[in-house]
């Protein structure tokens, strides 16, 4: 017998009908009926009389109801105690990510985290450098390169799709040509990025107009007509004044990874932030 089955039983006993109980738990009526039958079979008892006015507890059901209510009180008390402990978590966490990822992906998650854990101070460093977890330059790092350090615990978070964008209303270039097109791309230090090679291959006759290692800067330049830019979709799709350009082949996407030093794995505040970030972002 599971606590979730007893919660279902209590809802039916209190509401009197499967429909009302289902609505109170966010389930469907057929699901409620199926799980109630399974519970009765597992106990070997009929817990309710089915009447024209609804479900009425049998003597066996009344006995189960008394025990289930006591279990509910204990479970709710435990939830309240844990919630209180969570809100008392305090301390400091330093995070690192790229500029656009911090602004457009992490910031909403961190705002939610701050409301739940008001005594934890989070510092987010947006930097193109890969900060070291081993040297404790950051507690948690989000990046597009997998972690290879043996002392780092990591997991893939989600895949980011990219698109080519232009200022709204501008003429779209043709794949394989690009004559007359101007490009906003990564600076030379990041010339090996997959989207730079993709642009060169798809638009070989286009000219470089501007370079920047900052995706938000690239997006702003694109919006103001400086040229076409390859941008991560969470950033590009959020800007009203630019539109996607279809060249028949999407730019290469990137996987995002999150990592932390293994010595930190039992730290409660780190686990709380990781659990929220994974819950909101992972796919």
Which residues in the chain land under pLDDT 70? 1, 77-87, 128-132, 134-135
pLDDT at residue 111, rounded to an integer:
96
Same domain for 131 and 268? yes
pLDDT score for 234: 94
Q: Give the model's pLDDT for residue 81.
A: 57
Q: What is the pLDDT of residues 116-128, one digit of tens each?
A: 999 999 999 987 6
Q: Are residues 146 and 172 in the same domain?
A: no
pLDDT in tens, 4-55: 888 899 999 989 999 888 888 888 888 888 999 999 999 999 999 998 889 9
Q: Are residues 263 and 128 in the same domain?
A: yes
Domain tally, the chain: 3
Q: Are residues 227 and 168 in the same domain?
A: yes
Rounded distance between C-alpha atoms, residue 142 and residue 154, angstroms: 10
68 and 104 in a single domain? The answer is: no
CATH number at residue 242: 3.40.190.10
Residue 134, pLDDT score: 67
Distance CA 31, CA 249 (A): 44
CATH code of residue 37: 1.10.10.10
Which domain-ending residue is among 28, 55, 83? Answer: 83
How high is the pLDDT of residue 59?
A: 92
Q: Whole-model pTM? A: 0.66
Burial of 35 (0-12, 13-18, 19+ CB in 10 A): middle
Both 139 and 275 in one domain: the answer is yes
Q: Note whether 257 and 143 are within 8 A (CB).
A: yes
Backbone φ and ψ for 130, nearest 5 degrees, come out as -85, 100
One domain, residues 264 and 231: no
245 and 169 within one domain:
yes
**Domain extent for 57:** 3-83
Looking at the structure, do residues 74 and 115 belong to the same domain, yes or no?
A: no
């Amino acid at each position: 017998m599971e606590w979730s089955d007893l919660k279902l039983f209590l809802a039916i006993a209190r509401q009197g009908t499967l429909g009302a109980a289902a609505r109170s738990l966010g389930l469907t009526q057929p699901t409620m009926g199926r799980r109630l039958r399974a519970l009765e079979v597992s106990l070997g008892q009929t817990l309710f009389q089915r009447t024209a006015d609804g479900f009425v507890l049998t003597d066996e059901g009344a006995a189960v109801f008394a025990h289930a209510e006591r279990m509910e009180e204990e479970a709710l008390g435990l939830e309240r105690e844990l919630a209180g402990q969570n809100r008392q978590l305090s301390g400091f966490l330093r995070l690192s990510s790229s500029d656009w990822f911090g602004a457009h992906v992490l910031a909403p998650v961190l705002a939610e985290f701050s409301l739940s854990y008001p005594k934890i101070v989070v510092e987010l460093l947006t930097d193109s450098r890969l900060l070291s977890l081993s040297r404790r330059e950051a507690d948690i790092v989000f990046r597009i390169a997998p972690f290879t350090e043996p002392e780092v615990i990591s997991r893939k978070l989600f895949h980011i799709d990219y698109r080519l964008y232009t200022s709204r209303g501008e003429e779209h270039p043709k794949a394989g040509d690009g004559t007359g097109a101007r490009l906003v791309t990564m600076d030379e230090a990041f010339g090996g990025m997959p989207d730079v090679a993709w642009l060169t291959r798809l638009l070989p006759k286009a000219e470089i107009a501007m370079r920047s290692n900052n995706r938000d800067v690239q997006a702003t330049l694109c919006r103001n007509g400086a040229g076409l830019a390859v941008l991560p979709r969470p950033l590009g799709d959020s800007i009203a004044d630019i539109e996607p350009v279809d060249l028949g082949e999407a730019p290469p996407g990137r996987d995002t990874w999150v990592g932390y030093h293994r010595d930190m794995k039992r730290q409660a505040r780190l686990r709380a932030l990781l659990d929220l970030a994974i819950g909101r972002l992972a796919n």
